[in-house]
Amino acid sequence: MDNHFTITINDDNGVRQFNLHQAVKKAIWYIFGFIVFIAFFAVTTILYLNYTVDKIEDKRLNIQEAYQNQKLKNANLNATMKETQVALFLKKKELNEISDSLSEIETLIGLRSDNNTTLQERVTQTKINSEHIAALLQFIPNGSPVEFKGVTSKFGYRIHPTLKTKEFHRGLDLRARMNTPVYASADGIIEYVGFHKKSGYGKLVMIEHNYGFKSYYGHLNKIVVKYGKFVKKGSLIAYSGNSGVSSGPHLHYELRFLYKAVNPFHFVKWNVKNYKDIFEKEKKIPWQSLITATTHIKILSPTQTLPSSQLVLSSKGR
């Protein structure tokens, strides 16, 4: 068997022949195959690397986009947090102001709150007490029935200005010119209207109120209400005058509790700002049982102040 092969080369110099051993032929084929393999492997590797690089680039772009989105979300979140902090600060300031105002109201109406009482509980308790005060001031005479210009004769013993005799003055003479409007000092029903000769009060209006109270308005010039009519606090009932046994125009204002006269001046001064004072100054009335009995009464539209207004009323009588 021939283990050689011949390679013939034709060129300008003629024909040349080379005899190669069969082993060399195999070596050449192996080398050629290896080169082809290397080339294939290199191409495949390059393609794979290009694919991987493209993938990595896509991931990088996605990560960058996600980073930018997250950065934007963080910026929005920071802005929202700042707005929330500002809102919380303002709300806290508002709550502090409400708490301070509530403390003033609690002091005004005689409530005491401890550190364990929530703001909502304080508001609820204050609301209940405020409604209670409104009810008391609606049903029990308070405020001046005429524009307050002073007192010409106080409650108690005095020398009668006309009769010149010592007697017990059961009411309060309020200075008032002729035809000064007179208003009901609390809700009630008109018990009497007319000229009351026996008492010397002249033209008189009597109003029966809730819980045993009754108010008298004497020496009137003109009466504008009728017997049996229900009136609300602040309703116009008459005009002041000089009728009956009187030395000049004024209003005789008298209050009674269970038919016994009480000092009207304490009630004339009584309002929401000093509502506790009367409990100390007028001890003839069982306030505690009255307060207990009226705790749950609510007034939908209470009369805040009389039309006669008490803004000019001082804390001391004149």
Cα 63 to Cα 276: distance, rounded to the nearest angstrom: 73
262: which strand partners? 255
Asked if 270 contacts 278 with a C-beta cutoff of 8 angstroms, the reply is yes
Q: What is the pTM of this model?
A: 0.61
**pLDDT tens for the chain, residues 1 to 318:** 456 666 677 777 777 766 666 666 777 788 888 898 898 888 899 998 999 998 999 999 999 999 999 999 999 999 999 999 999 989 888 888 877 776 766 665 555 666 677 777 666 656 657 788 888 899 999 999 999 999 998 988 877 666 677 788 889 999 999 999 999 999 999 999 999 988 899 999 999 999 999 999 999 999 999 999 999 999 999 999 999 988 899 999 999 999 899 999 999 999 888 888 888 888 889 888 888 788 788 777 788 677 765 444 443 443
Cα 287 to Cα 293: distance, rounded to the nearest angstrom: 10
238: which strand partners? 182, 223
Query: In this structure, what DSSP letter does residue 48 have?
Result: H
